[in-house]
Amino acid sequence: MSSDPPGFELPLRLFLGFRVLIDELHAELARQGHPDMRPMHGFVLQAILRGGDTAVELGRTLGVSKQAAGKTIETLERLGYVERATDPRDTRRKIVRLTGRGADSLALSARIFDDLRRRWADEIGEERLRALEADLRRVTPPDVLRLDVPGWFGGQ
């Protein structure tokens, strides 16, 4: 007759799990030629891939202002992960594209995440991991790439 665990452990474990994976990803990325990548860069690159090809659209996708999105794009441009070109059909728009290096970092990240998942599967078993993923899918929103991440945690 064991009682329920305290509810506050659940969010902490979820966050720690996230943090462990992201930290290990970036340690490995740094080892493999991407020492400048920050956790949020990967999200932004993903958001650019999935249709956020101007500052305004990217801002909408990420849930920040177009100015903030513009600054983030500048940073990624300076680091060599994206490049901008004027849209010939609408010269107001500047289309953001991943560079080879940007695409490379995403492909590499995907491989690293697969490795990390395999390590978790070794630790807790593939079935349990699948169950964990399935359960999380049931209690989280389906749209996996609606971040609103930047500045969400802090504030005031």
- What is the binding site for DNA (CB under 7 A)? 38, 40, 54-57, 64-68, 70-72, 75, 89-95, 150-151, 154-156
Q: Which of residues 58-97 bind a second copy (CB under 8 A)?
A: 75
Residue 70 or residue 102: which is nearer to DNA going by CB?
A: 70
Measured CA to CA, the distance from residue 72 to residue 41 in angstroms comes to 9
Whether the Cβ atoms of residue 84 and residue 93 lie closer than 8 Å to each other: no
Q: In sequence order, what E strands does 87-156 have?
A: 94-98
Measured CA to CA, the distance from residue 111 to residue 108 in angstroms comes to 5
Residue 94 or residue 117: which is nearer to DNA going by CB?
A: 94
CB of residue 72 to DNA, shortest distance in Å: 5
> For residue 44, which of 65, 66, 69 has the smallest C-alpha distance?
69
- Please report, in angstroms and rounded to a whole number, the separation of the first and last CA atoms in the chain: 44
The token duo for 35 is: 């020492």
Residue 23 or residue 90: which is nearer to a second copy going by CB?
A: 23
Considering the rule CB under 8 A, would residue 50 count as an interface residue with a second copy? no
Measured CA to CA, the distance from residue 60 to residue 110 in angstroms comes to 25
14, 27, 30, 107: which one binds a second copy (CB under 8 A): 14
CB of residue 45 to a second copy, shortest distance in Å: 12
Looking at residue 102, its amino acid is G
CB of residue 19 to a second copy, shortest distance in Å: 8
Question: Interface residues with a second copy (CB under 8 A)?
Answer: 4-22, 25, 36, 38-40, 75, 109-110, 112-118, 120-121, 123-124, 126, 128-133, 135-141, 144-145, 149-156
